[in-house]
Structure 1
Amino acid sequence: MEFRTLRVFVEVVRQGGFSQAAKVIFSTQSTVSKAVKQLEDELGVPLLDRIGHRSVMTAAGEVVYRRGIKLLAERDDLLAELDEVRGLKRGVLRLGLPPVGSSTLFAPVFARFRQRYPGVEIRLLEHGSSQLEAILRAGDIDFAGLLAPMSEEFDWQVVRSEPLVALLPIDHPFASRPRLSIEELREMPFIIFERGFTLNRMVLDRSREAGFEPVIAAQSSQIDFMIELVAAGIGVTFLPRMIAAQRQHPMVRAVELTAPGMVWRMSMAWRRGAYLSGAARAWLDLLGEVHGGDAGQM
C-alpha cells in the first residue's frame, strides 16, 4: 500500500469530496479519483459509495480511514525523527491554538520562539478546542491549546488556570453581587460560543447538572460581539476571569461563579507517545520559561 494513495483517500473523507480534497492537496479531481480507485483495487474492496455528487464511506472505507489516520501520523513521526538524526537545521512546528486566550497566553511565546529560532517554520491553525482535539488526534499538528482535563490519548502541560465569571448587564439585579451560582441564572438567556468550543460544554454541562436546560439567545466566535449583546440586555455570557478583565465594558459587570468545576484550565497538549522534534521540544521548554509559574506537566 502506498502512503500517497492512502493520504489522498483520507483527505477525500476529511474534506467531504473529491473536488475539495483536490484543492487541499494541490492536485486535480481526476488525479484524486484515480488514486482512490488505485487504493480500492489494491485492497480489493470498495472504500467509497458514490451517490450522485456525494461519496459515503463503506464499512471497509471506515476501517481504512480509521487505521489510515494512525498510519500517516506514525509515518510523519518517523520522517521527523529521521530528519533530526540527519542533523536538520531547519524545521517545522505545527500549532493549533484556540481563539479564546491565545493573544495573552501564546502570542508572547510565539514571538520569543521566532526570535530564538528564526529558521523554524511555524504553521498555525486556529479553531475551538473540540476541533483542535480531532486535528491533533489525526497527527496534523504537533500541539494544540486544549482545556484540561482531556483524553488519555494526550499528554499536556498546564499553561494557565482561571475561574469562569458570568458577564451581566450593569442594571441586572445580580450585577452588584460578589458571586452567584449558575442555578440563579436559569431564567436568563445564555450567549455562548459556537460549536467546537470546549467552554460551551463546560457551561452547558454545569447547567444540566443544576437541573435546567438554558435558553440560547445567541452563539458567536467573537468575544467583543458577545459582550456587546450582554450590554444590550440580551442575556448572560461566560468568560475566563483573565479574558473578562481585558475586555471591560462600562455597561457590563463580571460576577464570580460559585459552581464547582467552572475553571478554565488552558493547556498545551500533544499525542501521548508521539515523537517530539527538536522544534517541538524547544516550544515546550519556552512555554515553561514564559509561563513557569502556571505550567505543570500532567
Structure 2
Amino acid sequence: MDFRPLRAFVEVVRQGGFSNAAKTVFATQSTVSKAVKQLEDEIGLPLLDRIGHRSVMTPAGEVVYRRGLKLLADRDDLLAELDEIRGVRRGTLRLGLPPVGSSTVFAPLFAIYRQRYPGIEVRLTEYGSDQLGAVLRAGEIDFAGALLPVSGEFAYQPVRREPIVALLPPDHPLAEAQSVSMLDLKETPFILFDSGFALHRMVLDACKRSGFEPDVVARSGQTDFMVELVSAGLGVAFLPRMIAAQHRMRSLNAVPVNEPDAEWNMAMVWREGAWLSPAAQAWLDLVREIHGEPETPRKPV
C-alpha cells in the first residue's frame, strides 16, 4: 500500500478538514482530496461522509483511521531502524513536553543532552499531558512528559513527584489552613488548566468524588495568567508545589490539598515495545542516569 494516501486521510481526520490537512502534509487541498479518493477506491468503501463543509468518518473510516495510526507509526519505526543499519551518525530526538513544570524538570536534562550530543537535532512539541499522549500514540514523538498513571500501551520512567497545592490569596478564609480538601473550597471559584491538561481532570475527579461540581471561572494553559487571576482575587488555582513556590513573591498562599492521589507525578513516557533510535535511547539513558530506576517495578494502569 502507498502510505501517502493513508497519511493524507489520517491528517484530514486529525486536522478536522482537507484545508488544514493540506497545510500539514505540504500539499494542495486538491492533492489531499485525490489521495483520500484513491484510498477509498483501493479499499472499496467510503471513508468520509461529506456533509456540507464537514467530513464525518464512516464506520469503515473509523477502522482505517485507528489501524492507520499504527501502520504509519510502524512505518516510521521501520525507516528509522533501517537508517541505523545504514550507519546514521546524526539523528533526531522528537520530544513532547508539557508547559507545566518543564522549565524546572526537563530544562536541566535538555542542557546536558545538548552538551553531550551536539549533533542531534531536538524537535520539541508542547501540549498538555493528555494531548501529548495522543501524539505519542500516533508515533509523532519519541517521548512525552506525562503524569502517572499511564495506559498499559506505554512504558515510563518516573522523573519528579510533587504534592498538589491550592494557591489562594492571603485574604481567603483558608489561606492559613494546614491543608484543604476540595469540599472545603466548594464555595470558592476554580481557576483550572485547560481540558487537555491532566491536572484539569485530576481536580474535577476529586470534586466529583466529593459530590459537587465546581464553579469554574477560567481555564488556561498559562500558569502565569492563572496566578495573576488568583492575585486578583478571582478564585483558587491548583499547582504542583514546586511551581507554586516560584510565585511566592506575589504574596499568595500555597495550601496542601488533602485528597487521595493529590500528587503531580511526572514521568518520561514512550510506546511500549517501540524501537528507539540512538538519539532517543541516549535521552532515555540520561533520564535514568539523573533520576534513577524506579525503586520497585510498577505496572502501568
| 1:201 maps to 2:210 | no
Residue 239 of structure 1 and its aligned partner are, at CA, apart by 0.4
Correspondence for 2:286: 286
Match of 1:79 in 2: 79
1:57 aligned partner: 57
CA distance in 1, matches of 2:174, 2:294: 32
- Contact 1:10 1:65 (8 Å CA) reproduced: yes
Given that 1:167 and 1:255 are in contact with CA atoms closer than 8 Å, whether structure 2 keeps it comes out as yes
Per-residue Cα deviation, 1:41-81 (whole angstroms, up to 9, x for no partner): 11111111222222111111111111111111111111111
1:15 corresponds to 2:47: no
Distance 1:269 1:259 in 2: 25
Number of residue pairs matched? 298
1:222 is matched with: 222
Identity over the aligned pairs, expressed in percent? 67
Alignment of 1:91-240 (within 5 A): 91-240=91-240
- 8 A contact 2:168–2:235 mirrored in 1: yes
- Is the 8 Å Cα contact of residues 160 and 266 (structure 1) preserved in structure 2? yes
- The alpha-carbon deviation at position 195 of structure 1 amounts to 1.3
Alpha-carbon separation, structure 2, partners of 1:52 and 1:184: 49
Shifted more, 243-252 versus 17-26: the winner is 243-252
1:249-270 deviation per Cα after TM superposition (whole angstroms, max 9, x unaligned) = 4331111122121000001100
SS at structure 1 position matched to 2:174:
helix
Q: Note the C-alpha offset of 1:293.
A: 8.5
Instruction: Tell me the residue number matched to 2:277.
Output: 277
Q: More displaced, 17-26 or 159-168?
A: 17-26
| Worse-superposed segment, 189-198 or 223-232 | 223-232
TM-aligned CA deviation for residue 296 of structure 1: 7.7
- SS of residue in 1 equivalent to 2:99: coil
Superposition deviation, residue 297 in structure 1 = 6.9
Distance 2:271 2:108 in 1: 24
Q: How far did 1:247 drift?
A: 1.8
In structure 1, the residue matched to 2:28 is: 28
Quick one: distance in 1 between partners of 2:296 and 2:265?
11
Q: Which amino acid aligns with 2:227?
A: I
Counterpart secondary structure, 1:173:
coil
Per-residue deviation, 1:292: 3.5
- What are the ranges of 5 or more consecutive residues in structure 1 without an aligned counterpart? none
Contact 1:161 1:294 in 2 (8 A): no
Letter in 1 for 2:277: S
- Deviations 1:129-185, CA, capped at 9 Å, x for gaps: 111111111111111110001111101001000000011110112111222222211
Conservation of the 8 A alpha-carbon contact between 2:158 and 2:291? no
Which whole-Å CA distance do the structure 1 matches of 2:19 and 2:60 have between them?
Answer: 22
TM-aligned CA distance change 1:293 to 1:272, over 3 Å: closer
Instruction: Provide the rounded CA distance (Å) in 1 between the counterparts of 2:190 and 2:43.
Output: 50
| 2-structure distance, mates of 1:211, 1:263 | 20
Deviation at 1:115, TM superposition (A): 1.7
Shift of the alpha carbon at 1:295?
A: 8.4
Name the TM-score, length of structure 2 as normaliser. 0.95
Unaligned 5+ runs, structure 2: none
- How much is the aligned-residue C-alpha RMSD, in angstroms? 1.5
Moved more, 148-157 or 221-230: 221-230
Give 1:87 deviation, angstroms. 1.4
TM-score (norm 1): 0.96
Alignment partner of 1:44 is 2:44 = yes
Is the Cα contact below 8 Å between 1:186 and 1:214 reproduced in 2?
A: yes
Q: Aligned partners of 1:218, 1:203: CA distance in 2, in Å?
A: 14
